[in-house]
Structure 1
Amino acid sequence: MIVAVHEANTTMRQLARYWETFRQNEDPKTSPAIAAFEEALWVGRAARVHVVFDGRPQATVLEGAARELCATVILAWFTADTWQRLAPAVGPAPKQSPRLGRFHVVQQDTAHETQSVWRTGADVATWLTDPDDNES
Structure 2
Amino acid sequence: MTTTAASVGPQRCQERYAARLEAAQQARRDIASALESWGLSHLIEPAEQIVTELVANAVEHTNAATVGISVVRTGKEAVRIVVTDTSRTRPTPASPSSDDENGRGLFLVGALAHDWGSELVHGGKRVWAELRVPRNAP
TM-score by length of 2: 0.28
Radius of gyration: which is bigger?
1
Which gives a bigger RCO, structure 1 or 2 (Cα 8 Å, sep 6+)? 2
Structure 1 or 2: more strand by fraction? 2
Structure 1 or 2: more helix by fraction? 1
TM-score by length of 1: 0.28
